[in-house]
Structures are given as C-alpha cells and as structure tokens.
Amino acid sequence: MNDESMKISSELWEPLEPEAKDAEKIERPSLTFFQDGWRRLKANKVAMVSMIIIAVITIGAIVIPWFWPYTYKAQNLDLANIPAVMDTYPLENGKNIYVTPQYTVVVMDSKGNLEGLAESGRKDMIGKKNYFSVDGLEICVDYSLYSEATKEYKSLEKKVDETGMVKVSDAQYLVDYFAQNGGGAEEISLTEASNILENKMTRVKVTCGGEELTEQVRLRNHTYLLGTDGLGRDLFIRIVYGARISLTVGFFAAFINFVVGVFYGAIAGYIGGELDNIMMRVIDILDSIPMTLYVILIMVVVGPGLVSIILALGLTFWVKMARIVRGQVLTLKQQEFVKAAVVTGADTKRIIIKHLIPNMMGPIMVNIAMQIPSAIFNEAFLSFVGLGISAPMASWGTLCNDALAGIYVYPYQMVFPAIAISVTILTFNLFSDGLRDAFDPKQRK
Amino acid sequence: MIRYIIKRVISAIITIWFIMTLTFILMKAIPGDPFSSEKMADPVIIENIKAKYGLDKPLIEQYGKYLYDYAHGDFGISYMKKGLTTNDIISSGFPYSLRIGIWASVLVLVLGIFFGIIAALRQNKIIDRVLMILATLGATIPSFVFATGFLFVFSKILGWVPSFGVDNWKGYIGPVIVSALFSLAYVVRLMRTSTLDVLNQDYIRTARAKGLPEWKVMGKHVMRNAILPVVTYIGPMFAALITGSFVVEKVFGIPGIGNLFTNSILNRDYTLIMGITVFFAVILVICILVVDILYVLIDPRIKYQ
C-alpha cells in the first residue's frame, strides 16, 4: 500500500472562490403564484392598458356623480336635445345662437355656455318663419326653403319613372343645388334627390335685424359635456350612472357566480359518485336551455330593476364555472396534499375551502373575469328591449333604447352610450384574455 | 348507432319536460294572476274568466292539463290578444324569424369558415391581424349598436334599404347581416384555431410528403378535420338565429317571434310567454340533437356513448 495515494492533496483543502459559493444560491426571491402571474400580466401591454381603462371607468363611475353639477334625473325641458358640438351663428353683441331641428333658437355666450331659449316672438306659419328676440335683436328663422323642397320632393316621388330616375328640372331645389355646386346632370336617381334634400341642403336661413347671418362657428357645448337627451337631462352624467349600473351588475353577477359555481362544482367533484352524477345531469339540462331565456323569465317573476337583473344573471351564469371547478377538483383531489389533509382529520368543508379552492384560484379568477363582460352585455341587452332598469334611472341599454326613436335627428344620443358600452366590454375582454394567459396558460387556445 | 340515437332522443325529451316544468313553476310563482289588475268590479266575472282558462282548478291539475295540451301541440289561448291562440301567434311571427335565421346561418358558415381558414393560412400576417381585430370587435359591440349603425348608414345616408319592415328582399339585408355578426366573429376565431391545430398534425405533413396537390390537402385533410368544432357550434347557433334576435327584430321593426316574445312579456301575457319559451326550447333541443347525431356520422372517431 502506498501511503501517498491515501493522502489528500493540500490544494483540495483550499477555500473556494467566493463566486463559486454563490453558484447554488437562489438569486431571485421566490415568487408566489400570484406574484408570478402578475409578473406575466405586467408584460402584456394590451392587458395593462385595458386594466388602466377599466380602473379609470370604475373610479369615474364612483367619483364623478359626487361633484358633477347635474343629477341623472334633473330635467331642463327648454334645453332638450342640444348636441355636444353645435354649428352656431355669432351675433353682434357677442352672443351665439344655435337653431335646433325644431326651428327654435338657443342662446349661448361665445364660449358655448348655454343661456337658454331665445324669447319667442311671432310665428308666421304661412311664410314658414319663426321670430325670436335676443337682447333686443330680432332673429328670424326662415325654413320655407326646406319645406318647399320637401313638397317638391313629394311630387318628384310621384313622377319617378321605372328606372328610379327623376328630372332635375322638375324640382326647383335640385336646380338651385346644382347651380350652386356645379355638375349639370339632367337626371338623377330618386335616392340621390332625397339625399340632397336631407343632407346637402341648407335647411334654414337665419336673419338678424333683416341681415342674413351666413358665418357659422362650431362651438363645443360647455354647459353639457355630451349634450342633453330628449328631456333635457345631461347625457354625460347619465352615461356615468350607466357605468355604475353596468359595473355593479358585472361585479355582483361575477360574485354570485363565484359563490354558487365554485361550491357547486367543488362539492360535485369532491364528493363524486352518484351525487356528482346527479349534479352534472342537472347542469347538462340547465346548459341546454338558452340562458337569456331564463334570465328573461326570472326578470318577469321578480320584476324589473337592478337587484333582479343581478339575481337573474347570477342564478343562471354559474354553469360554466361549476364545470371548470369540478374538472379542477377531480385532478386536485388525487394529489398527496389532499390525502394528507384527510389523514390529519380535516372534514370536507375544510378541505374544499382551505385546500382545494386556493389551489384553483387561477382558473376561477380567469373565468370570473370572462363572465363580467358577458353580464354587462346581458344587462344592456335586457334594458334595451325594455326588461331591465326602468326610468328615470339610466343604464347604457336604456340610453340606447331612448335614443333609438330619434336616431336620425339626434344620432349623438346613441353614439356616446354605444361607445361607452363597446369600450367597456372590449377592455374587459382584452383584460380577461391577458389574465388567462398569465394565470391559466393551459386554457389558451 | 340506433341505441345511441334512442338514448339521445330520450334525454332530449327529459330536457324539454324539465324546461316545461320550470317554466310552469316560474309562471305560477308570479304574484297575482293576469286578471287581478283588470278593472272588473264583479268578482263573479273574474271567477267565470278563471274557470274559462282553467285557473280555478288545483295546481297539479293545471300542470297535468298543461303537459297534456303541449304534448298534443296545443299551446293554449292568449290572455291578452282576444280570440287568438298561442299557435296562431307563433305561426304568424315565426316565418320571418326563420327566413332571417336561415340566411344568417348560411352567411355565418360560408364567411366564417372561409375567413377562418384564410386567417390560419396567413397566420400573423396583416390579413390575419385585420380579421382577428374585426372578430374581436364583432364579439364586443352589441347588436343594437350594429343595427342602428347599419340603418343610419344604409337607410338614412345612402337610402339603399328600407328603414322599417320586410316588405321586399331589401328589408332582409340588414337583419340578416346584423344577426350574423356575433356568431360570425365566433366562427372565424374557432375555425382559425382549429385549422392551425390541424395544420401542425403529422398526417398533413404526410399528405404533403406524398405529393398531394395543395388544394387536395386543404380540401380533404385540413378542412374535413378543422371543421369539426364548428359543427358542434352549429346547433345552438342555428337555434338562436332562427328563434329570432329580440334586438334585431325590434330595431328593424320585424314582426318576428323575438319581437312577439318581448311584447308578450311587456304585456304580461302568461300563456304566450309559456308557449314561446317552450317553443324556443324545443327548437334548441332538436337542433342540438340533430347536430350531435350528425357529428357522429361526420367524425367516426367518436364512439356512441
């Protein structure tokens, strides 16, 4: 035996380089499930922007009504149907006037702060002229041209030939229009004639003290940010209240959905056996019924209103959640930590609440986020067909419904709520997609 | 196969029975009865009317009569529209909804499958991005916004279509397009995802490797397999489209069944509500049943369970 070979060479006893000691060290802090998901979510720009927009809408919906000068039901019938942006005529005294589609005159200052209706004077029904006085100035709104043109158009409709064409020379307003704008067509289609009548012609001639006002200034409505509705209520605050309703419905429906769906699914999945079988058959049957139909029927039973919408949506929307949760539970309950909990004597309730649900939070959260826009969508739909929120309360669905009657004359009343609802649903959808990618990548398709 | 069909038919019948029972319970749960609000001072008259509609009998008897009548296709008399049966009212409105539904379904399937495949083949190219943005918008914007937007542009500004009613074929253009949009957006996404899935499969590589022309690969191998998820969606979609979209019928002023349903609810016409609900449910269940059976025929991999 060679003693030399048993000897450990002295260089092996040398201390390690300081860097080598760190090789095994965990450099970064360990992340919990939520920190990890949040990190991934933050990297997703679309989802982050959507989240910020949702936050802005939510905070706005809560805060704005506190300081806004109008309430959702304060009416001012004088100032009904005033749009957000108006083509106004400036007067000599610094005031501006706006002629409404009913040929009345609204007075405002040069910045667009509304001052009210102009004092109405004589109405010349035969000459088609309305007279008003603004601070001593006499304003005359002459709508005879348009009303003449409408009459001419009516007679054109009778003269139209089989091809749908009409002679320009038959109607004075068409002759005048082409004389002003060039283009000397002899025959045009009836559709074109109607288009010129409705969209291209100057409707009124406004004179002030005998002089015709030709200069027009486009002014923003400084009194009502988005204009007023048919009863002179501030459209902006009504949309804000609509946001309150929609968000309340969305969050509460998601909450009920969470409570019912999660526990139903967890109980079915965990207990299993015959009970699971029955509970799943019930879900199959519920699933084959169109949910909207049942939301409507429940609404009929409990009566329209915010609470019943939330109830109806919450009671019918949990089916998908129950399915997802049951699937998760079926896989989770085979794992050791559940067995360990059973061995230590935890009862079913404790296992479901303390062990199973926290381990499924990812899919549950994602599914809730997806149900919120769907609930908002349904609320708008129900309110639109007249089964949801009732007057004077406003929701985006009822606002759109109210605007429907006057859509051709006051399209802005439809446009703003429509934008609000579309943006909200879109951002919720994009956000829930991001949430899914971050917290539950398996669901990604 | 026969056993599978019988099994499916029985479960469909159970579903319909369940829906009918639930509807019955819900309708009976509404406080008061349809005549309590009417100003008929004489209680004798009210009693007589109740007797006429069978409302004086015990609930269980009413339920039995309800099931019996419905099973024989008799949906009862409308409470509010004097002298009309529910069957009359449904058959007056349903043809409009059916026509719109069929055309909308055709539109959804043709365009949805076509654009879905295009998007998958040009994955992450401009056309794919544009289609996906459009599909997202289509699933986001509510149909009443689309419907009014459509009317505003094509009826008010361009004057191409009538703004109200369905007197000629032009009146159907708007309703068909608007009711198709939501499902179209969904089908495009579905078709894109499943086509991408199929394109990555080994058998497609094999098909290409043995030198099949591209159109044959697409038509015989890709399409046939990628279309399967869409087939499952056809059932509920078709049912939803032909039972009429409430919103579309309201905006376009079509006297279809969706409109009738909303009105029956607003008028509290309970027999009509019950009749139309069950009618909807039957159509839905039948559509799902037919598609399920078709599915087994199309996809031999699926076992009849």
Amino acid (1-letter code) at residue A291 = M
Q: Is the pLDDT of residue B210 over 80?
A: yes
Specify the DSSP element, H or E, that contains A93: none
> How many Å separate Cα B211 from the centre of its chain?
43
Mutate: best of B145, B179, B189, partner A, most A CBs <10 A:
B145
Parallel, antiparallel or unpaired: strands A85-90 and A211-213 = unpaired
Q: Are B190 and B229 in contact (CB under 8 A)?
A: yes
Task: Return the pLDDT at B71.
Answer: 81
Element holding B49 (H helix, E strand): helix B43-52
Supply the pLDDT for residue A410: 84
Domain extents in chain A = 85-139+212-220, 145-199, 235-443
**DSSP line for B240-282:** HHHT--HHHHHHHT---HHHHHHHHHHTT-HHHHHHHHHHHHH
Please tell me the number of Cα atoms within 13 Å of B279 on its side-chain side. Answer: 25
Q: Which of B93-107, B178-192, B267-281 has the lowest mean pLDDT?
A: B267-281
- Pairwise CB contact (< 8 Å): A199 & B157: yes
Contacts of A300-307 spanning 24+ positions with Cβ under 8 A = A300/A387, A300/B26, A300/B30, A300/B265, A300/B268, A300/B273, A301/B26, A301/B27, A301/B29, A301/B30, A304/A387, A304/A388, A304/A389, A304/A390, A305/A389, A305/A390, A306/A245, A306/A248, A306/A249, A306/A389, A306/A393
Q: What is the DSSP letter of A343?
A: H
What's A100's DSSP letter?
Answer: -
From A379, which residue of chain B is nearest by alpha-carbon distance?
B142
Burial of A340 (0-12, 13-18, 19+ CB in 10 A): exposed
Confidence of residue B305 (pLDDT cuts 50, 70, 90): very low
Q: How would you class B274 by CB atoms within 10 Å of its CB: exposed for 0-12, middle for 13-18, buried for 19 or more?
A: buried
The overall average pLDDT reported for chain A is 81
What letter represents residue A41's amino acid? L
Q: Are A69 and A204 in contact (CB under 8 A)?
A: no
Rounded CA gap, A434 and A50, in Å? 9
Give the nearest partner residue to B142 out of A195, A290, A381, using CB atoms. Answer: A381
Tokens 């609470």 — which residue?
A307
Residue B57 CB neighbours (<10 A): 14
Q: Are A432 and A254 in contact (CB under 8 A)?
A: no
Domain A235-443, what fold?
MetI-like fold (1.10.3720)
Task: Name which residue leads in pLDDT, A444 or A337.
Answer: A337
What tens digit of pLDDT does each residue of A80-114 get? 777 878 788 777 777 788 877 777 778 777 777 77
Q: Do residue B139 and residue A422 have CB atoms under 8 angstroms apart?
A: no
Confidence band, pLDDT 50/70/90 cuts, at residue B27: confident
The enclosing H or E element of A211 equals strand A211-213
Best CA proximity match to A386, nearest among A290, A309, A294: A309
What pLDDT does B302 receive?
A: 61
pLDDT score recorded for residue B108 = 93
Pairing assessment for the beta strands A119-124 and A129-134 based on DSSP bridges: antiparallel
A218-267: pLDDT as tens digits: 777 777 878 788 787 888 888 999 999 889 988 888 888 888 889 899 99
Does the structure show a pLDDT above 60 at A314? yes
Check residue A300 and give its pLDDT: 73
CA atoms within 13 A on the CB side of B246: 23
Supply the pLDDT for residue B38.
57
- Cα A150 to Cα A157, A233, A406, B6, distances in angstroms: 11, 32, 19, 66
What confidence tens digit (pLDDT) does each residue in B37-49 have? 555 557 777 777 7
The conformation of residue A228, written as its DSSP 8-state character, comes to: B
- What sign for the dihedral angle of Cα A228, A233, A237, A238? negative
Interface probe for A, chosen from B19, B144, B195, B267 (most Cβ of A below 10 Å), is B144
- Do residues A108 and A88 make contact, with C-beta atoms less than 8 angstroms apart? yes
CB within 8 Å of B84: residues ≥ 6 apart: B77, B78
Q: Which backbone phi and psi does A219 adopt, to 5 degrees?
A: -120, 145
CA angle, residues A408, A409, A410, in degrees to nearest 5: 100
Q: Which residues of B touch A199 (CB under 8 A)?
A: 157
Q: Which of A14-28, A354-368, B205-219 has the lowest mean pLDDT?
A: A14-28
Q: How many angstroms away from the CA of B30 is the closest CA of chain A?
A: 5
Residue with the two structure tokens 């909200």:
A424
pLDDT of residue A183: 65
Nearest CB neighbour to B265, from listed A288, A300, A400: A300
Tell me the residue type at A142: D
For B141, nearest residue in chain A (alpha carbons): A422
> Residue A49: is its pLDDT beyond 90?
yes
CA B16 to chain centre: 16
Contact B30 A301 (CB under 8 A): yes
What domains sit in chain B, N to C, each tagged with a CATH number?
Answer: 2-71 (no CATH), 90-298 (1.10.3720.10)
Cross-chain residue pair B142–A387, CB shorter than 8 Å: no
> What count of CB pairs under 8 Å joins A to B?
112
Residue B76 contacts residue B65 (beta carbons within 8 Å): no
Q: Do B251 and A404 touch (CB under 8 A)?
A: yes
ipTM for the assembly: 0.79
Query: Chain A partners of B19 at a C-beta cutoff of 8 Å?
Result: 285, 289
In A304-355, which ranges are continuous DSSP H helix? Answer: 306-316, 319-332, 336-343, 348-350
